[in-house]
Amino acid sequence: MACKISRRRLPFEALLLLLCFWAALVTGSEYMKYKDPKQPVNVRIKDLMKRMTLAEKIGQMTQIERTVASADVIKNYHIGSVLSGGGSVPAANASGETWVNMVNEFQRGALSTRLGIPMIYGIDAVHGHNNVYKATIFPHNVGLGMTRDPQLVKKIGAATALEVRATGIPYVFAPCIAVCRDPRWGRCYESYSEDPAIVKLMTEIIPGLQGDIPPGSRKGVPFVTGKYVT
Ligand SMILES: *[C@@H]1O[C@H](CO)[C@@H](O)[C@H](O)[C@H]1NC(C)=O
């Protein structure tokens, strides 16, 4: 059966069309290729880069500390990323909810920009989610290296990732894979071993933190999966 629009319905359809144009105009919801998940990543990047001003590019390459961040600062300077420096917390003994609210508030600023590029929040979760009150604290890398147990270290990565996500944070500055040969270096405790072979074994914490890349998938590209270790 042919589908045909009856004469009686035409004015209604026209009105609907007009309404759509009006909605697109006031909400600025014109089609943006870079926002279309069906487009290949390279196409989306090209489209977005073409639209960005120099100020927006500079802002996107800038990571600021949470003490100087606010929704307005992120919006006005097109800030791409925010971090907690060591010990930088939204409140003394802050709850998970307080952390999430802080990150969401920053994200609100980022999403309200002209291009709506989300910001990423990063933190040093280097032996568990160590800046956060009541988080599970694991031994530092120098202790974990002594276990010679990559599967244990992977589980620690997964547990850390779960707690980090619970505070609304998608990004950790970990692991440190330094090979410390001189204990006078002030962060030697963040090195798994002075033996590169052991440090290499312990990088198993990475698929713990970000999840396993499915078999046959491309390696060498950023990857994050669900919340459970497989
Ligand atoms: C934070 O927690 C610690 C230990 O539970 C407690 O001694 C301290 O008084 C708390 N500080 C604040 C500001 O709530």
Residue 1 has pLDDT above 50, yes or no: no
Residue 16 has pLDDT above 70, yes or no: no
Residues contacting 222, CB < 8 A, separation 6+: none
User: Residue 151: what residue type?
Assistant: Q
Quick check: helix, strand or coil at residue 81? strand
Residues contacting 43, CB < 8 A, separation 6+: 33
pLDDT interval class at 9 (50, 70, 90): low
Residue 133 has pLDDT above 60, yes or no: yes
Atom of ligand 1 nearest to the CA of 92: 13
Torsions phi, psi for 193 (to 5 deg): -170, 165
Please tell me the distance between residue 95's alpha carbon and the centre of ligand 1 in angstroms: 12
Domain boundaries, the chain: 31-123, 126-214
Atom of ligand 1 nearest to the CA of 93: 1
Ligand 1 binding pocket includes 27 (Cβ within 6 Å): no
Give residue for tokens 């697109």.
24
CB 128 within 8 A of CB 159: yes
Q: How far is 112 from 82, CA to CA, in rounded Å?
A: 16
**Is the pLDDT higher at 222 or at 46?**
46
- Tens of pLDDT, residue by residue over 114-128, are 999 999 999 999 999
Has this prediction a pTM greater than 0.75?
A: yes
* Per-residue confidence (pLDDT) for residue 101, from 0 to 100: 98
Give residue for tokens 């998940």.
37
Torsions phi, psi for 121 (to 5 deg): -105, 130
Please tell me the distance between residue 91's alpha carbon and the centre of ligand 1 in angstroms: 11
Mean pLDDT, rounded, for 51-59: 98
Residue 6 has pLDDT above 50, yes or no: no
Q: Whose CA is nearest to atom 3 of ligand 1?
A: 93
Ligand 1 binding pocket includes 92 (Cβ within 6 Å): yes
Among 93, 95, 132, 137, residue to substitute to test ligand 1 (most atoms within 8 Å of Cβ): 93
- Tens of pLDDT, residue by residue over 134-159, are 999 999 999 999 999 999 999 999 99
pLDDT interval class at 4 (50, 70, 90): very low
Please tell me the distance between residue 187's alpha carbon and the centre of ligand 1 in angstroms: 27
Residue 22 has pLDDT above 90, yes or no: no
